[in-house]
Structure 1
Amino acid sequence: MSLLAQLNLVLKYSTPVGRAWLPILFIIRVLMAFIAETSVWKDEESLFVCNTQQPGCATLCYGHLHRFTHPQYWFLQLILVTAPTLLLMAYSLTRPEGSKAACDDWIAMESSQEGKSFSTKPLIASSISKKYYILSLLFKLILEIAFLVGYWYFVDFHVSEQYSCKNYPCPHKVECFYPDAFKKNVFIIIMLSLTGVSILLLMLELILLLTKKGCK
């Protein structure tokens, strides 16, 4: 409840669009990434096979194909995209009002351990200016776009059932076979769509705030 109270103050300048982003899109993406990691991408490397018995060839081909697995990339994306909001909460607590609230809460906890009666209040962050909230939105938008571009370099937009590999120690060009390609592509499409929706919502909220149509 304390974290929710802090988040509510940090998001005091957010529009209804921004308030929908965190509970809806973020939670859905976390759940989708978790399901993908624990079911579709589970034991993926052991199921990745190549038509050769050369030791180390299949392992090298799998590593060449994957700098990141898709779930690893999605979790990294979610952590970094939510980082501006978390940093904003941390900044609000370091301000004089937030620091005093933290001190009062610590004193109350110490009194509890000594058996004294007291009334507890949630740790409240001090309010922040509108420009900091707009900057956090801008950073989130840049990160979302950067991770979308990063698909070209770190993971694929599409998973093929068959993959050709020719690298040492493979003796020649070998064919490798990717497990559950159809299921993986379904998850990739869903996560790409959610990233696109997130970008649109962030852009819309920035427009509303910059045109002074957002509500506090």
Structure 2
Amino acid sequence: MAWHIVEKLLEQVAEHSTLVGKFWVTFFFVLRFLMVVSIADTVFGDEQGSFVCNTLTPGCANICFNDFSPISLIRLWALQILSVSLPTIIFMVYTAHKMTKISQAKKLRQDEMDKKKKMREEAKKLKTRIQTTMWVTYERKVVCRLAVEIGFMVLQFNIYVFKFWVPELFKCARWPCPNVVDCFVSRPKEKTIMLWVMFATGLIMIVLNLIELYHLGARKILEAWKQRG
């Protein structure tokens, strides 16, 4: 993986973030991105191959595994990373565009220093208006991140038969299994610990988003929203 590209993206995000936002970026990269890429993949990588059922009925073991794990947790977490990162990436593109506008406003203001006062005021208003719009966009980004984090945690909790503990034994009674079939899960304690870590990481990210929204301030957000046009 081209880590220098990731590092550059992180620097660009942190440049236009609050202090809490910088903490969010750090925790997201260390606790979420690296955790899924380097550790979770090795824990859940052999999930289906090590899922053994005491039956010889064709298709029964596969059906039981689909019931036990409808979606690969690795793919779900990867999709979560992508979805959480998307608002930040959009904000980066938007910020780059608006920073260009601010540079133009500064240049206009500098060029008109010796001309009419009205022209200077127009340039100043343009810069203030762009900064206000960026503030509103930043707040929307944080809200989107928060909604995505909560949404994926609820999805993960409801989509799997196991919640916070991966069982050693999973009993399956679906067709074409002739009766109740016992299926055995490999390394359940290790997978349980990984689930706890990912849930804890999600809670940390949610708390950081809430703190950042509080740090932005409801009054500032309301004022920025009123002046967005």
Instruction: Give the TM-score of the pair, scaled to structure 1.
Output: 0.76
What amino acid is the match of 1:207?
Y
Matched, 1:208 2:215: yes
The alpha carbon displacement at 1:96 in A equals 8.3
Residues 1:63 and 2:66 aligned together: yes
Q: Distance in 2 between matches of 1:180 and 1:203?
A: 35
Q: 1:61, 1:167 within 8 Å by CA — same for their partners in 2?
A: yes
- RMSD between superposed Cα atoms in Å: 2.6
Aligned match of 1:35 in 38, 41, 56? 38
CA shift digits 1:117-136 (9 cap, x unpaired): xxxxxxxxx97621110110
Task: Describe how 1:1-40 pairs up with structure 2 within 5 A.
Answer: 3=9, 6-11=12-17, 14=18, 16-40=19-43
Q: Percent identity?
A: 29
> Is the 8 Å Cα contact of residues 14 and 22 (structure 2) preserved in structure 1?
no
1:49 corresponds to which residue? Answer: 52
Kept in 2, the 8 Å contact 1:40–1:184? The answer is yes
**Secondary structure of the residue that 2:67 maps to in structure 1?**
helix
* Distance in 1, Cα, partners of 2:12 & 2:194: 33
Equivalent residue, structure 2, for 1:183: 190
Mapping for residues 1-216 of structure 1, pairs under 5 Å: 3=9, 6-11=12-17, 14=18, 16-95=19-98, 97=100, 129-155=134-160, 156-157=162-163, 158-210=165-217
Which runs of 5 or more structure 2 residues have no equivalent in the other structure? 1-6, 105-129, 221-229
Shift of 1:37: 3.9
Name the count of aligned residue pairs.
Answer: 185
What amino acid is the match of 1:53? L
Larger radius of gyration: 2
Considering fraction of residues, name the structure with more helix. 2
User: Which stretch shows the higher mean deviation, 165-174 or 19-28?
Assistant: 19-28
Q: How far does the alpha carbon of each residue in 1:79-102 deviate from its partner, in whole angstroms, 9 at most, with x for none?
A: 11111110111223455827x99x
Secondary structure at the counterpart of residue 38 of structure 1: helix
Per-residue CA distance 1:148-185 (angstroms, 9 max, x = gap): 11123223422111111111111111111111100000
Unaligned runs of 5+ in 1: 102-125
Q: Displacement, 1:190?
A: 0.8
